[in-house]
Structure 1
Amino acid sequence: MKSKGYGGKKNIREKQKGFSALLLTLLTGISVAGMTMGLVYSINSSQSSVVAVHAQTEAQVRAAAAYQALAAFMSTKDFDSVSDINLIERGEITAGSNSAVYTNSGSPLSPSLPDTCPTSTDPVTPNICFDIVAESGEAAAIARAIFKSTRSIKTGTQSGSVFAGGLVVGGSASFTGDNNSTIYVKDDIVTNTAGTEVVLNGINVELYVPTDFVSANDLMSFSNYIFKADPAVVGIGYSIEKRNLGGDASISTAGITYSAINNLWTIDLSVAVLPPGVLWFDGNVIIRPPARTRDIPVGQDLRYVNSFIAKGNLELAVATSSSLSYDFYAPAEFYNQPRPGEVPVGEFSVSELIAYSEACGTVASQLPTQYCHNSGLYDPNLKKEATVANIVFFSGGELSVGSGNNATVSVHGNLIASTGAGGTGMASGKFTGTGTIKVEGNIVISGETDVTEMLGNIDISLSKTTGSGNVIPMPTYKIGSKPFPVEIDFSTYMTCGGTTARH
């Protein structure tokens, strides 16, 4: 029987990543008699004969044993998406000399079982149901096992940029690559504003295949400073939660303002002095760098080393009058810049001391412990929490990057918009202005309903799309090792003379 798993529409991928049939053999064996103790279940049955009662009880015990085995087995598996979990259609559990069949239950096997799996309170992590059927003689017991899926992150690799909703390069805009750059685009085509296909120099265009990317909520626990609206905080109207730090750390709120009217955070970099690490904002964010040289704070330059994460839209708003050069680094990208003597004289390099101090800070209480240790950075290939240090800008909605009036904006690291505008008619990504935008990393615009626009008299270049910085956080799903709820509702059937009757 082929059916969906939790009342939603099944997303069958072209390449099946799940299991269409799973056979679980418990090598150590399970004693059916031993499983009768400690199992929580209810039995709906009536006595018709001693033989029938024995067969019913035996079938129910086998179903309960199969449930325990299924729960243990599923808890060891990782899935890339809920759709992959739903690709598990059915399978057989062999426990010693006993066996049972489980089916991903979109349609019930028993009239006493509900038509659909109970709805989860969080649509991102739905409940997953399996109907388990075990037989003994002419009796069959059917149990509905309900599990809760959980979502976390893992280390992933994105070797190339993504424009899931399509890409438009219009006007006098130029989008070029370093001949090693690959972009994945909806319908495998890039167009201008008239809908005509355009060819991009130095960039290989390939078809985008739907992929599950992380959300801003997934990254909140891996951030250092979490900004949330709080009207009770007099004067600023928001609170700052500090995480992943070596100890308590103060942070200046100068240059950071919040407007509850449109849930908007504004970061004025001509005033703000930001601490090292990952800054997470519950809402929309506008980052405004200085427009003139004399606006730069004393002791600073136009180099910024942070990860900015917005649950809503994120905009880098370079003033239209600016013609300055700005550098925005993901912490790991700045730390991994060449050291003096490793590049020709005149090209950018940074000492290990400066690289560490700007990526991790100089105060122990401000150490971003998810990606820094006391002498360097963790390898994001080995520590999933460190993958966030490869992100410069992350938007839960629209991502906009402007280049002002002949300004140069260099972004060293990954730019990610996790959902896009969501069919609002807005672009998922916007790259505008009359200057130059250089991206050393990947641009990932995963909203599948809205295009990314590169418009104006702007020069955009893409490089290092397959470098060490392409390691990014990706979602992973598990089925909880404990069922939800803990009670299993059994229906028992007897096969009598070729007919099936419920007991």
Structure 2
Amino acid sequence: MLNDQVFRTVRLPVGGGKMHKQAGFASILLILLIGLALTTLVIGMVTSLRSLQDSSLTTHAQTQAQIKSAIGYQALTGLLKPLSATQIAQINNGVIKDNGSPAATIATYKVVTTTEGCPDSTGGKNYFCYDITAKSGGASSVVRAIYTDITIGGGAFNGSIFAGGLQVGQVRNLQGNQTIQVGNAGQGNGIVSGNGSNSYTAEDFFDQTGFTVQAYQPTTFLTAEEVRPYANYIFYADGTCAKNNLYSVNTAGTAATITAETTPAMTITIGSTSVACNSIPGITTSGSGSSKAWTIDAGNSLLPVGVLWFQGTVTIELTDTRDLVNTIIATGIINVSSENGGSTNKAYAPNHYNLEAETNLDTKKARICGSSSTGIPTQYCDTTGTLKALDTELAKIANILFLSNSDINFKVKNKKTMSLYGNIMGSGGAGGTGFSSGKFTGTGEINVKGNLSFTGTGITATNGNVNVTLNSGNSSGNVTPSKKVMILSSFRYM
């Protein structure tokens, strides 16, 4: 009875059990919603990262492809530069590979025709167009390079050039029959200055000397570096030497051609080896690096024929016991002296020796071309040691006697005579006190049959005690080599 009464008086909250069940379900729903949101966020982040990674990979691949196409362009340019227009016209397509083992392909190239956008060749200019294609991953890059060939240097002389001006010690000490071009020497174009404040108009100078005087017209000739591939014996400032462009006899006694240099690279070899400098007679050296200097003993009967090329300063000691018959080229100053010579001292450019020297043909042949046992210059002599016609640019180097990137100085003493046959070219000689493009000093006679070309900014000067005569050379001896070079006229990514 009691228990029943107690039970009847107990009051439970209405719906209490139901409320607890709803609260638990809501919590579960909240947790599920939060988890779903986090899952969605994570999936979004993963998707974004994956997209960024793909984008990064694509960008990286495209960048690599562009780098490879640029490398391919550089390689193709190096291939084309030393070639003639005729040779380049034969190159249609190819593959550019690295130096690995095995070699991997960097890029490919193919010619672009005029119908595909290459300009027509006109006005003496030839255009050559190539598309260079490189791939990396799934990306590719195409570069279109348009080249044109231009001619630098060369042409025929029409007298002598003094771009930085001409200064004479006394008018009577400079005579001749040439047309001369005179630049600004502080007195005005076409004006020749004398000692002190004296100056001469073109008419005055012609009346007293025989020269026709004109204002200088800017002219450029090839530099020492540009004609180095045309040389036969090469002397570097680091003390190494090389031969080039020669026919010779190998140990078996059969004719062998020394491979000519095809690019202006610093390594020049006979087959695969350079030459010891002391194996080339008649030339001594002193100093090193930028102070490297060379001396040529023109009287040495073993001095080789051909074009001698020097990196540095060169002094040429002329003598009356043996004429110099060579082309001498230097990056530095050239000094020509007859102080230790006899009464008459002569130097000839090879072709001018053929034109001027009074000697028999066999002697001329030996002096100009040498022999197979000593080496025959291939630029202007054939395999029999006979002078070629000067109808190629390489052969025309035989008309140059001296060529310098700096200035050229001539010294004759004790009333001796120095006779020079050929074209003499100096492109340096900065202006300023004590600096000249050309200088003639001494107490003797200097006779030039050929053309002087001093295109530097320094004055060409003669002192008042040396007599200089400039005579016009043979017309066939007036031409000098030119060079066709390939230049980039357009470059763009396609």
Q: Shorter-chain TM-score: what band?
A: 0.5 to 0.7
Residue of structure 2 aligned with 1:307, choices 327, 339, 359: 327
Shift of 1:488: 2.1
- Which position in structure 1 is the counterpart of 2:308? 279
Per-residue deviation, 1:258: 3.1
| C-alpha contact 2:403 2:425 (8 A) present in aligned 1 | yes
2:363 — aligned with what?
A: 354
Q: Is the 8 A contact 1:425 1:450 kept in 2?
A: no
1:225–1:201 CA distance, 2 compared to 1 (3 A):
same
Q: Which residue does 1:376 correspond to in 2?
A: 386
Are residues 1:336 and 2:365 paired?
A: no
1:54-453 mapped onto 2 (5 Å cutoff): 68-71=116-119, 73=121, 77=125, 147=146, 156-171=155-170, 174-178=173-177, 181-186=178-183, 187-198=189-200, 199=205, 200-230=208-238, 238-247=239-248, 251-260=279-288, 262-271=291-300, 273-290=302-319, 301-319=321-339, 324-337=343-356, 349-363=358-372, 366-373=375-382, 374=384, 376-380=386-390, 382-421=391-430, 426-447=435-456, 449-453=457-461
What is the TM-score when the length of structure 2 is the normalising length? 0.60
Write the distance in 1 (CA, Å) between the matches of 2:477 and 2:190: 25
Distance 2:213 2:237 in 1: 42
Hey, what's the Cα distance between the residues in 2 that align with 1:467 and 1:457? 31
The secondary structure found in structure 2 opposite 1:355 is helix
1:205: Cα distance to partner? 0.8
TM-superposed CA distance for 1:270, in Å, is: 4.9
3-state SS, counterpart of residue 212 of structure 2: strand
Letter aligned with residue 260 of structure 1: S
Specify the alignment match of 1:121 in structure 2. none
**CA displacement at 1:389 relative to structure 2:** 0.4
What is the alpha-carbon distance in structure 1 between the residues aligned to residue 388 and residue 243 of structure 2? 20
The 1:457–1:217 alpha-carbon spacing in structure 2 relative to 1, beyond 3 Å, is same
Q: In structure 2, what is the Cα distance between the partners aligned to 1:365 and 1:399?
A: 30
After superposition, the Cα gap between the structure-2 partners of 1:267 and 1:365, relative to the gap in structure 1 and judged at 3 Å, is: closer
Q: Secondary structure in 1 aligned to 2:199?
A: coil
> Is the Cα contact below 8 Å between 2:311 and 2:331 reproduced in 1?
yes
Determine which structure has greater relative contact order: mean sequence separation of CA pairs < 8 Å that are 6+ residues apart, divided by chain length. Answer: 1
SS across alignment from 1:188: coil
CA distance 1:476–1:252, shift in 2 (3 Å): closer
The Cα offsets for residues 84-124 of structure 1, whole Å up to 9 and x where unpaired, read as xxxxxxxxxxxxxxxxxxxxxxxxxxxxxxxxxxxxxxxxx
Secondary structure at the counterpart of residue 388 of structure 1 = helix
Instruction: Say whether the 8 Å CA contact 1:78–1:477 is kept in structure 2.
Output: no
Give the aligned length: 331
Q: Please state whether the residue corresponding to 1:439 is helix, strand or coil.
A: strand
Post-superposition CA distance 1:242-297 (Å, at most 9, x none): 1110136885345421311612112234557310100000111111235xx7xxxx
Name which one, 1 or 2, has greater alpha-carbon Rg. Answer: 2
Alpha-carbon separation, structure 2, partners of 1:78 and 1:393: 32
For the 8 Å contact 2:298–2:322, the answer to whether it is kept is no
Offset, 1:363: 2.8
Q: CA deviation at 1:214?
A: 1.1
Q: Which structure shows the bigger proportion of residues in helix conformation?
A: 2
Q: 1:77·1:478 contact (CA, 8 Å) conserved in 2? A: no
Which range is displaced more, 276-285 or 261-270? 261-270
Query: Are the equivalent residues in 1 in contact too, given 2:126–2:149 (CA < 8 A)?
Result: no
Structure 2: state its 5+ residue gaps.
Answer: 1-92, 94-111, 128-141, 184-188, 249-257, 259-269
Distance of 1:466 and 1:203 partners within structure 2 = 17
Q: What CA distance in whole angstroms lies between the structure 2 residues aligned with 1:245 and 1:207? A: 41
Q: Match of 2:470, as an amino acid? A: L
Q: How has the CA–CA distance of structure 1 residues 280 and 151 changed in structure 2, closer, same or farther, with 3 Å as cutoff? A: farther
* Structure 1 vs Structure 2 CA RMSD: 3.3
SS in 2 for 1:428: strand
Do the aligned partners of residues 66 and 272 (structure 1) sit closer, same or farther apart at CA in structure 2, a change above 3 Å counting?
same
Amino acid at match of 2:247: G
Aligned residue identity for 1:393: F
* Cα gap change, 1:322 to 1:358, in 2 (>3 Å): closer
Asked if structure 2 preserves the Cα contact closer than 8 Å seen for 1:395 and 1:418, the reply is: yes
Q: Residue 74 and residue 309 in structure 1: after superposition, are their counterparts in 2 closer, same or farther (change >3 A)?
A: same
Shift in alpha-carbon separation, 1:484–1:259, aligned structure 2, 3 A: farther
Question: 1:424 & 1:281 partners in 2: Cα distance?
Answer: 27
Contact 2:166 2:192 in 1 (8 A): yes
* Cα pair 2:310 2:330 within 8 Å, conserved: yes
- Structure 1 residues 475 and 208, CA, compared in 2 at 3 Å: closer, same or farther? farther
Residues 212 and 475, structure 1, Cα contact 8 Å, conserved in 2: no
Instruction: Give deviations 1:118-163, integer Å, cap 9, x for gaps.
Output: xxxxxxxxxxxxxxxxxxxxxxxxx997656666657511111111
Task: Decide whether the 8 Å contact of 1:224 with 1:277 is kept in 2.
Answer: yes
- The offset of 1:474, in angstroms, is 3.4
Aligned AA (2:314) = V
Amino acid at match of 2:287: S
Query: How high is the sequence identity, in percent, across the aligned residues?
Result: 32
Partner of 2:106: none
Cα distance, 1:283–1:255 mapped onto 2, change above 3 Å: closer
